[in-house]
């Protein structure tokens, strides 16, 4: 599933509108879980999905190297959390994610950052379409094996 970094509702809506049948992973900014918490990001993703019914999507919150933020994201219902694999608490958080039925990623997946694009420009919209047209983005991270 292609991933895009979204910073605002308008970006999430563009991502959902452009997503193909494989859907889209709405990925937060790096470390967003540490400074904003999970509620805002989950609400942003849910609202974008409400405005684009029938589109497949998942939300992934990046918690950098902060295990407390990752645990808070899991408690809030985040289904995919990114926590630096080098974090000493990674195994404990991975166990909590497994218990919650969530996925813990040790690194950010390859993603197109919509914050770096001007969504009013045709060439940037074409770049988004091209991103979704790729069958498997190079360098994409797969979920770790249990």
Neighbours of 52 (CB within 10 A): 18
Neighbours of 106 (CB within 10 A): 15
- 96 vs 73, 101, 138, CA distance in Å? 11, 9, 30
Chain centroid to Cα 145, Å, comes to 19
**Residue 120 domain-assigned (yes or no):** yes
Model confidence, pTM:
0.88
- pLDDT above 70 covers a percentage of the chain that reads 92
User: What is the band of 134 on the pLDDT scale with cuts at 50, 70, 90?
Assistant: confident
Sign of CA dihedral 115, 120, 121, 127: positive
34: domain range? Answer: 3-133
Indicate the number of domains in the chain. Answer: 1
**CA 102-105-107 angle, 5° bins:** 160
**Residue 36 domain-assigned (yes or no):** yes
pLDDT above 80 (res 9): yes
**Residue 140 domain-assigned (yes or no):** no
pLDDT above 90 (res 137): no
pLDDT at 17: 94
pLDDT at 36: 84
66, 34 Cβ separation under 8 angstroms? yes
How high does pLDDT run on average in the chain?
A: 91
Greater confidence (132 vs 134) lies with 132
**Residue 14 domain-assigned (yes or no):** yes
pLDDT at 140: 44
**Residue 139 domain-assigned (yes or no):** no
Q: What are the pLDDT digits (tens) for 19-55?
A: 989 999 999 999 999 998 899 999 999 999 999 999 9
What average pLDDT score do residues 74-79 get? 97
pLDDT above 80 (res 82): yes
pLDDT above 60 (res 136): no
**Residue 83 domain-assigned (yes or no):** yes
pLDDT at 45: 97
**Residue 141 domain-assigned (yes or no):** no
* 126-130 contact pairs (CB < 8 A, 24+): 128/4, 128/14, 128/15, 128/18, 129/18
Beta bridge partners, 62, equal 82
**Residue 145 domain-assigned (yes or no):** no
- pLDDT above 90 covers a percentage of the chain that reads 85
């Amino acid at each position: 599933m292609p991933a895009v970094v979204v910073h605002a509702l308008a970006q999430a809506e563009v991502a959902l509108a452009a997503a193909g049948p494989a859907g889209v992973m709405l990925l937060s900014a790096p470390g967003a879980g540490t400074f904003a918490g999970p509620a805002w990001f989950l609400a942003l993703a849910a609202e974008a999905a409400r405005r684009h019914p029938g589109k497949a999507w998942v939300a992934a919150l990046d918690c950098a190297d902060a295990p407390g933020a990752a645990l808070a994201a899991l408690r809030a219902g985040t289904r995919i959390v990114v926590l630096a694999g080098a974090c000493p608490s990674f195994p404990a958080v991975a166990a909590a994610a497994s218990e919650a039925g969530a996925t813990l990623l040790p690194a950010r997946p390859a993603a197109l950052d919509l914050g770096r694009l001007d969504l009013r420009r045709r060439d940037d919209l074409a770049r988004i379409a091209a991103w979704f047209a790729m069958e498997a983005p190079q360098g994409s991270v797969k979920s770790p094996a249990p």
